[in-house]
Amino acid sequence: MVKKINFKKIVTVAFLLGVFSPSVQAFLSQGYNIEQLAEKSHVIFMGEVTQVVISPASGNAQGYPYIEVFFRVNESLKGNVSPIYSFKQFAPRVGKQFKLLGMHKDAYVPGQKLVMFLGSPDATTGLSAPENFELFSIQTKSDRPSDIDQAVVFNKQYGEKVGQKLFQNLQKQSTIRAMEKISKKTKPTSAMSFKEFRTLIQASIQ
């Protein structure tokens, strides 16, 4: 018996690979470490989600549906990031809701602080996405710098504290030295503060 070919699925995958190839390739990869995330990101910042807006039914000028995520930026770590920043991410509509490719629908929640490693906007659509579709949340008691610095960083996509995979196979001496200093004080495989996470990001983009 000949298996029926799902042409709709093939066309969808081809479309996504063609239009959103950097993000899709990242999604299909084995994951990046901190150096690779930092290198591939167009901008890196830590900020609070203030609003999530679903695109009109027709999407943008090219007809692609998206959400626009707005942030109040606390810290810019790479690239030109304004105090109020937004980006648009591909998000097919399902009725009045939306889906995110490779991510949970509730990835962006107003009021939550996130460390964003954003890829470059697509030249045709202007859409972008977090590198490797990874989000890092900062769970802090207040906006005081001391509270934010000591807050634990979580990988929101996987529901766990920042773990070992992110710090494996480091190549840059600056990152390796920073990691060695942190390792003397704590065990980064079990938990890492935002202050330590920031230090590693800064070392990775040197």
For the segment 140-168, what is each residue's pLDDT rounded down to a tens digit?
A: 888 888 999 999 888 876 666 666 678 88
Instruction: Give the H/E segment covering residue 202.
Output: helix 194-204
How is residue 96 written in tokens? 């009045």
**Per-residue model confidence (pLDDT) at position 100:** 86
Q: pTM for this one?
A: 0.80
Domain boundaries, the chain: 34-204
Instruction: State pLDDT tens for residues 80-115.
Output: 899 999 999 998 877 777 888 778 778 999 999 999
Q: What is the widest separation between alpha-carbon atoms in the chain?
A: 66
Q: Are 75 and 131 in contact (CB under 8 A)?
A: no
Percentages helix, strand, coil for the chain (3-state, rounded to 5) are: 30, 25, 40
The residue type of 124 is T
Instruction: State pLDDT tens for residues 25-70.
Output: 443 445 688 999 999 999 999 999 999 998 877 777 678 889 999 9
Q: Determine the Cα–Cα distance for residues 153 and 117; give it in Å rounded to an integer.
A: 14
